[in-house]
Structures are given as structure tokens and as C-alpha cells.
Amino acid sequence: MSKKLLIPLSFLFFAYFVITSQNFAVLLSGIAIFIIGMFFMQDGFRLLSGGVLDKLLQKFTSNLFYSILTGVISTSLVQSSTIISLIVISFLSVELLSLVQGVGIIFGANLGSTTTAWIISSLGVDVKISVYAMPLIVFGVILRFAASNAYKGLGNVLLGLGFIFLGIAYMKDGFDTLKDSIDLASYSMDGVLGILVYIFIGIIVTVVIQSSAATLAIVITALNAGSIIYVNALSLTIGANLGTTLTAILASLASNENGKRVAFAYFVFNLVTAVIVTLFLHYISGFIELIAPYLGIDSENYGMKIALFHTLFSIIGLLVLSPFVNKIVKLSERLIKKKVKAHSKPKFLLDANITLPDAAIVSIKKEIINLYENCQRAMFHAINLHTSNLKTKEDLEVQISQEVTNINADIDEIYQSNLKILYSEIIKYSSFAQEYMTSSQHVEAGDLKRSAKIIVEVLKDTRDIQKNLNFYLKSRNEYIKNEYNMLRKELASILIDINIISSTEDTLERFVQLEMLKSSIQKGDLISTEKIDNLIREDKIKATMATSLINDSATIYSTKKKLVEVASTLFIDKNLIA
């Protein structure tokens, strides 16, 4: 049977099973509604934060302790470790966070995500939360029609909460009715085999439904309905923690090496913690029984005890593994090597960043800098200068004074085979990312796209002077040869100056250097025009030479102005210009 036929037949069989089995239909509907609610909440908090969450994650991560604390607080607030993980991977991809900071946030997010279990266990036992679900859904739908992203975000959050409450109510009803027809508790197992089997079930369920929160909701509602015994529920919770790491690993496959390293660290955290907790499960269970009364948890409230166990799981992981974060990071870097990409392949344009405006803008800017660096290398080669030993003006003087060695740099070929693809990807990515941006971010992205266009224009301008330059550098006329050498020097000098500006750490100093560069370009153009006039009057160069020199000088002058504009967009703080 072909794969194309197998999938629809499997779906039809599943649909028949759901329709004909009322008890399972109620339970599965509850799970589905709960997952929909989680998605709405994630989207809502993303819109509601308006980039504030991104900035907080970046700002309050100066050391490992603050990184972990930031992960705990932010995940507790937004009730989604998925959002936090997505932002962390996005920031790592554009190098806004170090790997140690990213791992710290993820470790903290693991603890922060346990608040979901507390909410579910608190609301899903004695309170009829379905009563609150409908008003939340109604107000959520109304707010979704608002023009403001903040109101839309709030609407999504309310919708998410409404669907989560409704999903829990359906799951509770499903397990109650299922218990009457099928005694799931009769299949429960004691001993080591039971623990391992239910850990495996927890892993599978979490991977299938892509949500550890949904798995815990199922566990708590099933436990409250008496469908499973307490020790099996503890094992399922361990499995849910392991399953969510496999989900993170699958999500990281589309990210760069740092995203994969964070997923690896997350996997190590939960795997090591799961092994420790499983080995000492009896003692941890006894400890929960001991401290539960002091936390106001009734002896029969096993849902609350599951929430407490889930929290202890993460606390144990933090206590054991936090001292070894640096070693885990180094291990991840050793196992997951950085891939060297071709010039035509984007380095920073990750799909995960498109819906996060701040991260998207940084991604676009870094990719355009990558485009600029590749174009700059081609420009140096086009004017017969080797880039390997060309860092300073002194290095330039050495190369200019030497006999010219022709470098075979076909600008058209370089552009078509490598840089055109990269430029196209930048424009495409920017266009999609702008859909999620505010008006000011939209303008900033537009300025970045313009700088990418100018970089390509500058490369083509260099191609236009390349032919004359190669011809006259071999001329017997020392005057024209000297003038074209000066053009080489002018173009190379500004490229070196921009490199110096980009590597200057102080933002104000960068601005001052760029302003000085603008001034020197204006003066240099006036001197160049007077010099050409003198050479013509003194008959030191022919008229044909003069026209070529005038045209190429004008092109160099235009190119230098364009490069300054690019540098201003890419390397200067826009607040200094405003």
C-alpha cells in the first residue's frame, strides 16, 4: 500500500474510532481544545509583549544566576516555555546572547514551566472551570477584532485561557465517563517495570501532542478521576519532561548550530535529572508526603502533589547541573561543530526569527553585513589587491607600491553565482518579517533593504571601472598609471576606514569617525577635479585618457558616498543620527 493511500486511510480509521466511541471522543476533544488554547496563549503573549519580552531576556542575563532567574520569571509569566525557547534560539542565531546565557535561560524556563501544573491542579479538581471558559472566549473573540496588536494579543491570551479551561473540563468529564466503561486503573503496574513503562508512555504522549503542559493536564485529570495510580502518574511526569526535550531537539533541526547546542543542553538537563529522580523516586515521593501538609496540600489531593513533584524535578536538576553549565556548553560545542556555509547561503536568516521583530531586524542587519563583507572582498580583488594582508593603511601602501599583479576577479560571475542568491534571500526574508513589525520597525527594515541594494550597486560600479583600471595600470604613461593607482588607493582606503569604524566599540567614536570620513570625501573630490584639469592642460595625458579618468573618478566618488551611507545604516546607532 502506498504512503499516499495509507495516511488518509489511517485518518479515516481514527475518525471512525472517535465518532463511534463517545467516551474517547470527549477525552480527545479535551486534549485538542487544551492544545489550541496553548497555541492561542503563545501567540497572544508574543503580540502583547511587543518586543518587551525580547528586550528583557537580552538585558537581564549578565551572569548565569540572572539568566536562570530570567528564564524562571519569564516562563511563569507567559506560561509557555516554547515562546522562551524560541526567543533564546533566535537570539543565539544572531549572537545577541552567549551560549551560556541561553542555556541558563532554558534551565530556568524548565522550572518556570512547572507553574502550569500548579494552575491545572488548582483549578481542575474542585472548581467547575468550564463556567469561566465561555466568558473568556467571548471577550477574547471581541478583542481580536481590535486594530491594536496589544488588544489582539490580550484577546488571544483570553481565548487561550478559555480554551485551556474548557479543555481541562472536557478531559475531566472524559476520564470520568471512561472510568465507568473501562477500568484503566486495573492496567496499572507497580515496581520498576511499571515506572519504566509509564516513563516511556509519558515520552511518547508528549512527543505526539507536542506539549508537556497538555501531558500533565492529562496526567492530573486522569489521576483525579482515579484512572491511574499515583506512582504511575509520577512516572508519566518524568516521561513528559523527557518528551519535551525530544520536541525541542526536533525544533532545533531547522536552526543553526547554537540552537542545536541549546537543545542538547536541555536534553542533558532533563535526562540526567530523570535518571536521578527515577533512582530516588521512592525517597522523593516520601519527601512530598512529608512537606505537602506544610504547603497546605491535602493528603488526598494528588493533583497538587504531581505539581509539587514536577517542581521538585526541575529544582533537583538546577541544583545538580547549574555548577556544570560551562562544561555542558563546551561539550555541546565539541559535539556540534559549526558548519562553514557557502557565500551564497544565508548565515543569520532563520525562519524562527521572522515573527519576532527585534530578532528579525538583527538577523537582517547581520546578513547584510555578511553580504557587505563578501562584496568588499570581491571589490578588493577587482582592483588587484590581496585581502590576506590588508588590514591597515600601511598594508595598503605596501601593496600599492608594488608591481601590479592582475587578480582574475570576474565580478559578474561572483555576483551571479554567489551574491545574487544571498541578496535575494535578504529581500525575501525582510518582506515576510515586515508583516509582523510596527511602523518604526518597518522603516528600519526598509532602510536595511536599501543598504543591501546599495551594496550590490557599489559592486557593479567597481566592475564598471575594472576594465579601464586593468588597462591603464599597464600603460607606459606614468601619469595615467599613477592616477589609476590613486583611484585604487582611494577606494581601498574607504573600505579600510569603514572596517575600522565597524570594529570600534564606542558608538559615539564611530559616529565621529564617520563624520570625519564624509568631510574628507568631499575635499578629496575637489582636489581630484583640479588635478585632472592640470594634467590635461599640461598635455601629460591624452584626451581619451582624460575622459576615462573623469568618468572613473566620478564613479569612485559616487561609490565612496554610497559606502558611507551603507556604513551609517549598518554600523552607526540610529539614535545618534536622529
Question: Among the listed ranges 37-51, 276-290, 448-462, which one has the minimum average pLDDT value?
Answer: 37-51
Residue 9's Cβ-count burial label (10 Å; 0-12, 13-18, 19+) is exposed
Q: Which residue has the higher pLDDT, 219 or 312?
A: 312
Q: What is the mean pLDDT of the chain?
A: 79
CATH classification for the domain delimited by 351-577, as one of 1.10.3470, 2.40.30, 1.20.58, 3.40.50: 1.20.58
106-128 pLDDT, tens digit each: 888 888 878 877 876 766 545 45
Of 387, 363, 391, the C-alpha closest to 376 is: 387
Reduced DSSP (H G I as helix, E B as strand, rest coil) percent helix, strand, coil of the chain, to 5: 80, 0, 20
Once rounded to an integer, what is the mean pLDDT over residues 28-47?
70
The enclosing H or E element of 478 equals: helix 478-503
Cell numbers given for 264: 542538547
Measured between its terminal Cα atoms, the distance across the chain in Å is 66
Three-point CA angle 157, 113, 96, nearest 5°:
85
Of 470, 463, 487, the C-alpha closest to 375 is: 463
Residue 450 has pLDDT above 90, yes or no: yes
Distances (CA, A) of 300 to 146, 172, 184, 223: 45, 17, 19, 11
Q: Crossing angle for the helix pair 22-49 and 212-224, nearest 10 degrees?
A: 140
Phi and psi torsions of 564, nearest 5°: -65, -40
> HEC states along 197-229?
HHHHHHHHHHHHHCCHHHHHHHHHHHHHCCCCC
d(CA 186, CA 167): 26
The enclosing H or E element of 90 equals: helix 81-93
Residue 11 has pLDDT above 80, yes or no: no
Cell numbers given for 105: 535561560
The enclosing H or E element of 350 equals: none
d(CA 463, CA 288): 74
Q: Which residue has the higher pLDDT, 35 or 166?
A: 166
Confidence band of 397 (pLDDT split at 50, 70, 90): confident
What is the pLDDT at residue 183? 47
Residue 15 has pLDDT above 80, yes or no: no
Name the residue type at position 527.
I
Of 193, 334, 209, 326, the C-alpha closest to 260 is: 334
Confidence band of 253 (pLDDT split at 50, 70, 90): low
Residues for the chain: how many in total? 578
Evaluate whether 352 touches 83 at the Cβ level (below 8 Å): no
Evaluate whether 136 touches 158 at the Cβ level (below 8 Å): yes
- Choose the most confident range, by mean pLDDT, from 7-11, 21-25, 440-444, 519-523: 440-444
Of 169, 172, 113, the C-alpha closest to 137 is: 169
Confidence band of 299 (pLDDT split at 50, 70, 90): confident
Confidence band of 74 (pLDDT split at 50, 70, 90): confident
Question: Among the listed ranges 347-356, 358-367, 422-431, which one has the minimum average pLDDT value?
Answer: 347-356
Question: Among the listed ranges 98-112, 239-253, 324-338, 532-546, which one has the minimum average pLDDT value?
Answer: 239-253
Question: Among the listed ranges 133-147, 342-356, 370-384, 501-515, which one has the minimum average pLDDT value?
Answer: 342-356
Confidence band of 455 (pLDDT split at 50, 70, 90): very high
DSSP SS3 for 255: coil
d(CA 136, CA 156): 10
What is the pLDDT at residue 41? 67
557-572 pLDDT, tens digit each: 899 999 999 999 998 8
Residue 185 has pLDDT above 60, yes or no: no
Cell numbers given for 344: 551564497
DSSP SS3 for 97: coil
Residue 493 has pLDDT above 60, yes or no: yes
Of 69, 110, 104, 106, the C-alpha closest to 311 is: 110
Evaluate whether 452 touches 427 at the Cβ level (below 8 Å): yes
DSSP SS3 for 341: coil
Of 252, 245, 48, 213, the C-alpha closest to 140 is: 48
Phi and psi torsions of 553, nearest 5°: -65, -40
d(CA 567, CA 562): 9
Cell numbers given for 477: 604613461
Confidence band of 182 (pLDDT split at 50, 70, 90): very low
Residue 143 has pLDDT above 60, yes or no: yes
Domain positions in the chain? 3-335, 351-577
Residue 24 has pLDDT above 70, yes or no: no
302-344 pLDDT, tens digit each: 778 888 998 899 899 999 999 998 899 889 888 887 654 555 6
Of 469, 466, 340, 486, the C-alpha closest to 401 is: 486
Phi and psi torsions of 462, nearest 5°: -65, -40
User: What pTM value is reported for the model?
Assistant: 0.61
